Each structure stands twice: as structure tokens, then as C-alpha cells.
Structure 1
Amino acid sequence: MLVELVKVAKFPWSPWLAHVRTPFGGTAVRWCGDQAAKPGKYHVEWTIDEDIAWGRNAKPAVGVGPGVRPGGHCVVLRGRLDLTVDGAAVLDFDGSQILLDLADSLPEGVAGTWVELFIEREKIALYPYEL
């Protein structure tokens, strides 16, 4: 996914964080690239390092379409939740696939719907890559 990197910063109590913007919102999340990265456009892979539990950190979306925004102590990602043929869960986030670890099985009928994930910003990571 192509994002606009606004800045990379480090606070004493947190890992390196990137403030990024997308066409559908922006937020700050863990940055796993060069700490001296300059502002600009970067292709990134998103990862989530937290188990997804329906009703706790995953809920039906308010609205449709991809979205990302700060949500108090967490980041809210909105995307379409899908299951692979082998039963793995993925969040389709504007064409980028984010593999999810599930704490429990999903409720019936949730696959294929728009959902919002509420994840601590330190548990969402961006890995920049070159095309």
C-alpha cells in the first residue's frame, strides 16, 4: 500500500512511530523502516501483532470502505474481513491483505463484511519496501 510518511518520531515510552496519511485517513503506528526516513511516499506492508477477538477488538464497521484513524489509546482500521480457503482470517485494507491471528472462531456471517479493528498503535507495524 502506498502511504504518505509525514514524520518518524520516538518518545521515551514507545517504539519508533510513523505518522502516516492515506486517501482514507491517517494515524501514527510502529515504524519498522529506516529511523531517518524522510517525509514522502512509501510502499508499506501492514502487520498486526495482536490476537483478534470478536466483540473485544473487532466489531461491525460504522460505514463502508477502508478507513484508518486514531481512536484514543488505539488505532481503528476499517476493512473487509475475509477468510481464506484454509480458514485464516485476513483484513482487506484497500487492496492490501493483513493476516490476522484469531483468539476464537468468528461468528457466523461475519466473513465478507466491513469491520473495524481497535488495535494499540504499538501493535500495528509498517514495513516499507521497494518496488
Structure 2
Amino acid sequence: MLVELVKVAKFPWSTWLAQVRTPFGGTAVRWCGDQAAKPGRYHVEWTVDEDIAWGWNAKPAVGVGPGVRPGGHCVVLRGRLYLTVDGAAVLDFDGSQILLDLADPLPDGVAGTWGELFLEREKIALYPYGL
């Protein structure tokens, strides 16, 4: 996914964080690229480092379409949820696929619907890559 990197910063209590913008919102998340990265456009892969539990850190979406926004102490990612053949899940995030580990199976009828993930910013990572 192509994002606009606003800045990369580190605070004493956190990992390196990137302030990013997308066409459907922006937030700050863990940055796994060059710590001296300059502002600009970067292709990134999103990863989630937390088990997803429906009703706890995953819920039906408020609205439709992809989205990313700060949510108090967390970051909210909105996309379509799909199941993989091996029992994991994928969040389709504007064409980018984010592989998710599930704490428990998704309830019946959730696959294919819009969902929102509520995750700590350090549990979402961006890995820049070149094309």
C-alpha cells in the first residue's frame, strides 16, 4: 500500500513510530524501516502482532470502506474480514491483505463483512519496500 510518511519519531516509552496518511485516514504506528526516513510516499506492508478476538479487539464496522484512525489509546483499522483455508483471517485493507491470527474462530456470518480492529499502535507495524 502506498502511504505518505509525515515523520518518524521515538519517545522514551515507545518503539519507533511513523505518522502516516492514507486516502482514508491517518495515524501513528510502529515503523520497521529506516529510522532516518524522510517524509514522502512509501510502499508499505502492514502487519498486526496481536491475536484477534471478535467482540474484544474486533467488532462490526461503523460505516463501510477502508479506514484508519486514532482511537484514544489505540489505532482503528477498518476493512473486510475474510477467512483463509487454514483457519486464520485476512483484513482486506484497500487491496492490501493483512494476515491476522485469531484467538477464536470468527462468528458465523462475519466473513466477508466490514470489521474494525482496535489495536495498540505498537502492535501494528509498517514495513517499507521498494518496487
SS of 1:69's equivalent in the other structure is strand
Q: Distance in 2 between matches of 1:39 and 1:112?
A: 35
Q: Distance in 2 between matches of 1:117 and 1:86?
A: 21
Moved more, 77-86 or 101-110: 77-86
**What is the Cα deviation at residue 88 of structure 1?**
2.1
**What is the Cα deviation at residue 48 of structure 1?**
0.3
TM-score, length basis structure 2: 0.99
Aligned residues: 131
SS of 1:105's equivalent in the other structure is coil
Spell out, residue by residue over 1:39-86, the C-alpha distance to the aligned partner (whole angstroms, 9 max, x if none).
000000000000000000000000000000000010000000001233
Contact 2:87–2:105 (Cα < 8 Å) also in 1: no
Aligned to 2:119: 119
Aligned-residue RMSD, C-alpha: 0.5
Q: Which runs of 5+ in 2 are unaligned?
A: none
Q: Does 1:35 align with 2:35?
A: yes
Q: Distance in 2 between matches of 1:71 and 1:26?
A: 11
Aligned to 2:70: 70
TM-score, length basis structure 1: 0.99
Aligned to 2:80: 80
SS of 1:14's equivalent in the other structure is coil
**What is the Cα deviation at residue 29 of structure 1?**
0.1
